[in-house]
Amino acid sequence: MSESLAAYAGRILGHVSIDEGTPRWIGKLVAYDGLMLEATGFPMPIGHGALIMDANGQSSRAEVVGFRGNTTLLMALDADAPHNPGARVEPDRQLSIVHVGDGLLGRVIGALGEPLDNLGPIITDEYWPLVGKMGNPLNRGRVTQPFDMGVRAINALLTAGVGQRIAIMAGSGVGKSVLMGQMIAGAKADVIVTGLIGERSREVTDFVETKISDDVRPKSVVVAVPADHPPVLRLRAAMRATAIAEYFRAKGKNVLLLIDSLTRIAHAQREVGLSLGEPPTIKGYPPSALGLIPRLVERAGIDIHSKGAITAIYTVLADGDDPDDPIVDTARAIVDGHIILSRSLAEQGVFPAIDLGKSLSRVMSDIISPGHRQAAAHLRRLWSVYEENRDLILMGAYRSGTDASIDEAINRHNDVLDFIRQGQNERIDLATSIATLMERFAV
């Protein structure tokens, strides 16, 4: 972006100037309830940042989230800040933009762009809007090229495309993070951006040290916000990770964006929405929580102008393994494919525990060859027939020779499971995955 930070911030903030010597709005804190603050004399737009000065002259950050009459409602970004009545509320224009550039590569940052990896300051010289740029839907290109994920079952049976949006759906402890690690290690991408939203701090450390290998680190950016941080920070982390991916896409890069997890982002928006008085709907989610998902997911895809692409993977936690959870349902409706992980397969020691019958890639038929399509359909048919007759087979009620398709499904069930199964540190490229599929399951 060629314009200066001052000019850019001034443009997106309208009448508020950041030039020294010009007037600016200074508000006053009049109420504080939990994470919600109320200020008067501070008519800033929603999403604008604020600095709240305490009695000791220290500042804490907040974000404008709504209005009530002439009172501005803000959500605190620093949960434990010592706010006092009548504190000064000043504009913070830095919260509306994301500092971007090659200096982010290889780094781990927080929701506000601060370095978390003890490697010193991050040097960047360009900017990108936190909420992205409104685009024309016709500027999104079609998915026509396969994307190598490094996982045989996905490459061969749920073939992903460059610019596709995919949701990985499962209950807790079924292997979502492990599968994400395999994708990061095996993906053929120029840049990999990972957003760890609402995870336990231990899991963030474990992910960075075990899933981001030395080969991958120079082209990766990790944005991490643990579960104990305020909800607005969790939301900003997801938007920051997406904004960073958009910047590299605008540079013509092939970007892999991984967000873990979409459910915790919706939980954060639920906290904000309920604090603002939104009516709860299904499972207590206000409308804004469900509306946030398509706004975030739609920012991924192919840019026909720069020729860059964001291939996005979103994990979705199915509360209680409920496939009809509202977040699962909303995500499944907006993405271009979904991968369902089965607890039953995980208990059998089959990893990645992909349930082929319930998983789908909506772009697969557009990017694979007829021979590949036939072999994949054959394997899926074996899986489907076995699952439909599982109870009869396990009870011993099925007599061999009664149905040829059931006989084949029984005889080849272990072959199917062996094809899905892949070691955590094993990488299988797209060409090898397809060749193995056609060799073993060609019609």
- Listed by start position, the domains of the chain span 25-90, 95-363, 370-439
Read off the pLDDT of each residue in 147-173 and give the average, rounded to a whole number.
94
One-letter identity of residue 42? F
How many whole angstroms separate alpha carbon 63 and alpha carbon 77? 7
- Cis amide linkage into residue 96, ω under 30° from 0: no
Read off the pLDDT of each residue in 173-181 and give the average, rounded to a whole number.
86
- In 10 A of CB 124, how many CB atoms? 16
**What pLDDT, in 10s, does the model give residues 279-326?**
998 888 999 999 999 999 999 999 999 999 999 999 998 877 777 788
* Residue 15 binned pLDDT confidence (cut-offs 50, 70, 90): very low
Q: Are 266 and 223 in contact (CB under 8 A)?
A: no
What's the pLDDT score for residue 53? 87
**Placement of tokens 């009664």 in the chain:** 402
pLDDT at 4 over 60: no
Q: Are 259 and 197 in contact (CB under 8 A)?
A: yes
What's the token pair of residue 433? 């995955």
What's the pLDDT score for residue 296? 95
**Placement of tokens 């499971």 in the chain:** 417
Beta strands in 200-299 (DSSP E): 220-226, 254-260
pLDDT at 8 over 60: no
Regarding predicted confidence, which is higher, 147 or 281? 147
Assigned fold of 370-439 = Substrate Binding Domain Of Dnak; Chain:A; Domain 2 (1.20.1270)
**227 CB-near residues (< 8 Å, 6+ apart):** 198, 199, 200, 264
What's the pLDDT score for residue 22? 56
- Residues 277-286: contacts with CB within 8 Å, 24+ apart? 281/326, 282/326, 283/319, 283/325, 283/326, 285/326, 285/327
What's the token pair of residue 98? 């994301």
What's the pLDDT score for residue 7? 47
What's the pLDDT score for residue 33? 80
Closest CA to 253 of 285, 219, 279: 219
Read off the pLDDT of each residue in 251-259 and give the average, rounded to a whole number.
97
Query: Which has the minimum average pLDDT: 81-95, 115-129, 188-202, 213-227?
Result: 81-95
What's the pLDDT score for residue 38? 93
Enter the CATH code of domain 95-363. 3.40.50.12240
How many whole angstroms separate alpha carbon 153 and alpha carbon 115? 36
Query: Which CATH number, 2.40.10.170, 3.40.50.720, 1.10.357.10, 2.60.120.460, labels domain 25-90?
Result: 2.40.10.170
* Residue 2 binned pLDDT confidence (cut-offs 50, 70, 90): very low
pLDDT at 387 over 60: yes
Element spanning 385, H or E: helix 370-388
Say if strands 337-340 and 360-361 run parallel, antiparallel, or are unpaired: antiparallel
Phi, psi of 19 (to 5 degrees): -70, 140
* Residue 267 binned pLDDT confidence (cut-offs 50, 70, 90): very high
What's the token pair of residue 418? 């062996």
How many whole angstroms separate alpha carbon 40 and alpha carbon 69? 10
Mean pLDDT of the chain: 89
pLDDT at 430 over 90: yes
Output the CA angle 60-270-245, nearest 5 degrees: 70
What's the pLDDT score for residue 23? 67
Read off the pLDDT of each residue in 155-174 and give the average, rounded to a whole number.
93
Judge residue 381's burial from the number of C-beta atoms within 10 Å of its C-beta, 0-12 exposed, 13-18 middle, 19 or more buried. Answer: middle
How many whole angstroms separate alpha carbon 335 and alpha carbon 6? 37
What's the pLDDT score for residue 325? 85
**What pLDDT, in 10s, does the model give residues 62-108?**
999 889 889 999 988 876 778 888 899 999 877 778 999 999 999 99
pLDDT at 131 over 60: yes
What's the token pair of residue 344? 């039953």
